[in-house]
Amino acid sequence: MQLEWGDVTHVTKVDPAKPLPADLEVLSGTDLVLVGGSDDVTEENTLEAIDALQATVPDTPVFQEPSSGAHVSSATVERADAVAVPAVFNGDRDHFVGKHVELFTEIGEQPGELLGANLPLVGRLVESKGRDVVAELAANLVGEGYVVQHLESAAADRAGVETAYTPEQVAGAALATETFYGFPIFYIEYSGTYGGPDDVEAAARHLEETRLFYGGGIDSAEAATEILEAGADAIVVGDCFHDDPETFRATIPE
């Protein structure tokens, strides 16, 4: 499914380890769904969530956002519209580059096992057909520059984040995301607590092509409006989607 980034202002983060709301039609106003979480996520519950979401809102792109390479398989790659791969600037090495090396090591050594394809191999090196499949998979990966700012969150614990960034450092990470890494998304994550507009304003000044996502504590129209007016291209709403669908509806811009 082709995604027009300029149309994305509301993103829903769905944790596959949590129960989904009974009425998934609440998602009809969102522009993009990210499926992923920090605790108790498996390939199985990821696939169940992706299938349920795509059956209910078939015209809304559904991306997998794995916190571990173990969650990515031939089935998730095939069934999700894309795989969003975070690079956590203020995390440990594993969650900035380590997971990426691990993922591509698995692809390079065993693309058939990962992608479900019967590919010719010489030793453990990929031949031309294998390289084509690897290139196809790589085209379906979406890089995300990521800053995790809530130190007491599960996301910070999982990514080894020990220090929150200052607004100036957030701005630097945003600039690096666009000009050096060329990722389409820069994501400021406050993980369940509201961080306010300061980091958003700092990052927005440096971004032209990369889309600025903010997630954390968006539980009202007022909070959504403040973050969007501060310069975010999109808000990411997660907790209230699972906990209070009516509050979730209020976060969708009109």
Give, for all 254 residues of the chain, the pLDDT tens digit.
667 888 899 999 999 999 998 889 899 899 999 999 878 889 899 999 999 999 999 999 999 998 777 777 778 888 899 999 899 999 998 888 887 777 777 666 655 555 555 444 444 444 454 566 566 677 788 999 999 999 999 889 988 999 999 999 999 999 999 999 999 999 999 998 999 999 999 999 999 999 999 999 999 999 999 999 999 999 999 989 999 989 999 999 87
In this structure, is residue 179 part of a structural domain?
yes
In this structure, is residue 193 part of a structural domain?
yes
In this structure, is residue 198 part of a structural domain?
yes
CATH number at residue 21: 3.20.20.390
In this structure, is residue 111 part of a structural domain?
no
In this structure, is residue 204 part of a structural domain?
yes
In this structure, is residue 109 part of a structural domain?
no
For residue 92 the two structure tokens come to: 């440990």
In this structure, is residue 30 part of a structural domain?
yes
Helix or strand or coil: residue 149? coil
Question: Are the C-beta atoms of residues 17 and 39 closer than 8 Å to each other?
Answer: yes
Beta pairing, strands 121-122 & 211-215: unpaired
In this structure, is residue 136 part of a structural domain?
no
Q: How many domains does the chain have?
A: 1
| Structural domain that includes position 14 | 5-93+142-250
What's the start-to-end Cα distance of the chain, in Å? Answer: 24
For residue 238 the two structure tokens come to: 């997660």
Rounded CA Rg of the chain: 18
Torsion, Cα 205 186 137 156, to 10 degrees, reads 160
Number of neighbours of residue 122 by Cβ within 10 angstroms:
8
pTM for the complete prediction? 0.88
